Amino acid sequence: MQAGEVIRRKAYNALDALKGGRMNKLIKVNMLEIVLGTTEAYRKRRLKAIMDYARANCEFYAGAGGELSDFPVMQKMDYNANRDAVTSRVYKDRLSELAVLSTSGSTGVPFTVPADPLKMEHIFSNMLAVYGLNGFRFGMKRGEFRAWIEGKNTISKWKSFKNNLKMYDISNMGDDALKEICRRLEKEKIQVIVAYSSALTALADYMLKNGISPAKWSVEMIYSMGEAMPDATAEKLEKLFGFGPVRSYGNNENGFIAIALKDSKEYAVDLYNYYIEILKLDSDEPAEAGELGRIVVTDYYNRAFPMIRYDTGDTGKYVEKTDEDGRVFGTFTEIYGRRGSILYNTKGEPLSMHVFMNVLLKREGVVHQAQCIQWGEKEYEVLANYEETKITPEEVADIYRPYLGDDAEIRVKHVDEVPVQASGKRLVCVNNWK
């Protein structure tokens, strides 16, 4: 343990004790609810509370009925277009006093959500519960990989010091940038890496390619956030560090929604903070259990800006089970990522993102990066960084053909680097068709 970690933990526990230990109790409850599930009575109570509050205090929801299905499904653009009407009248004159939760706009829609003090408490307890379930100790030094934008999502020097958090900018993931990241990780004695899957893939590949060992580093944990992680990346990280990454799912607007426990590839959902719906890809009808659909979240605790039936833009497969004690346990069996990242084969069948994450394993070292873009029913383009002396464009296309279809029209374009989004994510597939 580092001295900074221990000092921060003792200071935090002392301050919390003065408040009756409220936050530590909240964290413990949150952890138990993720592991053991929650009761149906709790879910009904929390849903009714947020719906009643929204109808009474938000102009936009005033006419909604008493059932969740009476509320509209909302995307980022809908919230932005109705921001004033969605904002609670209780907080309209106090918005400057509230915290804000912002997303970088990687999908083309920048989005900022005001959060009241109760929501911020739950953001904090939710984060520490998710981290704690996988061995995190309060006060550990974190290195967070993002596309940090000054004045938008960066944090102050004081907050960085208080939270023992270092910002690692991944707007550029070229060799020079990765070399500097590795230097900082060792010098700054980072204990926990928090990064998007694509950034971890780039880091692992760079370290293996250049023979960089983390033996002298202080890293004890790696948290993967955002898009799903290729199995190959998890294996590389375990080979390098001696332990595998923790896979999580969530967003900046709400917090952590689900976490993989221990070595599981499935994600346990935080039903203590959220109500989850999976709706069909082409309508607002409920999907069947285990059917691929849109992930729609109702946040129980943000009173300043109630987010009821929020279409996150992500897709996945979800199942719920109720045990003999009546506790409900929710699991994402698979998270596909953005709806715009779902590609279809020439028969119109959706393909898992994992296909595109793992498809290049057989040509590892020859094809370094690739992104598959669908432009039409049978029209695809592959942007690839590959060794032109070792593989032809036709051979690159043939890697994808068994999944896309024998009648797929695949054109290959050689690039020096697959572009990184504003958020720092590098997508393996993009749907520009539907």
Q: Which phi and psi angles does 265 have, rounded to 5°?
A: -95, -10
Angle between helices 197-209 and 175-187 (to 10 degrees): 90
State the Cα–Cα distance between residues 13 and 390, nearest whole angstrom: 58
Written as one letter, the residue type at 75 is Q
Q: Which of 289, 321, 337 is the last residue of a domain?
A: 337
Distances (CA, A) of 244 to 13, 132, 200, 216, 220: 29, 16, 12, 18, 10
pLDDT along the chain (434 residues), means of 10: 91 92 93 94 96 98 95 93 96 93 61 92 94 92 83 79 90 82 97 89 91 96 81 91 92 91 87 96 91 94 97 91 92 78 83 70 79 94 93 94 94 88 69 84
By residue range, what is the domain housing residue 403? 342-431
The answer to whether residues 356 and 411 belong to one domain is: yes
Q: Which of 277, 305, 337 is the last residue of a domain?
A: 337
The answer to whether residues 349 and 323 belong to one domain is: no
The answer to whether residues 326 and 419 belong to one domain is: no
State the Cα–Cα distance between residues 227 and 370, nearest whole angstrom: 16
The answer to whether residues 318 and 238 belong to one domain is: yes
The answer to whether residues 128 and 238 belong to one domain is: yes
The one-character DSSP state at 98 is S
Give the pLDDT of residue 340.
61
Pairing of strands 221-225, 246-251: parallel
Give the pLDDT of residue 188.
96
The answer to whether residues 332 and 268 belong to one domain is: yes
CATH number at residue 377: 3.30.300.30
The answer to whether residues 349 and 243 belong to one domain is: no
Q: Which phi and psi angles does 408 have, rounded to 5°?
A: -70, 140
Q: Which of 298, 321, 337 is the last residue of a domain?
A: 337
The answer to whether residues 46 and 157 belong to one domain is: yes
Contact of 70 with 64, CB cutoff 8 Å = yes
- Structure confidence by residue, pLDDT tens digits, 208-249: 999 999 999 999 999 988 767 778 889 999 999 999 999 898
Give the pLDDT of residue 433.
87
The answer to whether residues 282 and 255 belong to one domain is: yes
Give the pLDDT of residue 146.
80
Written as one letter, the residue type at 309 is R
In 338-360, which positions are buried (b, 16+ CB within 10 angstroms) versus exposed (e)? Answer: bbbbbbbbbeeeebbbbbbbebb
Give the pLDDT of residue 342.
74
The answer to whether residues 72 and 14 belong to one domain is: yes
The answer to whether residues 243 and 270 belong to one domain is: yes
CATH number at residue 156: 3.40.50.12780
Domain count, the chain: 2
State the Cα–Cα distance between residues 425 and 75, nearest whole angstrom: 20
The answer to whether residues 107 and 215 belong to one domain is: yes
Give the pLDDT of residue 136.
92
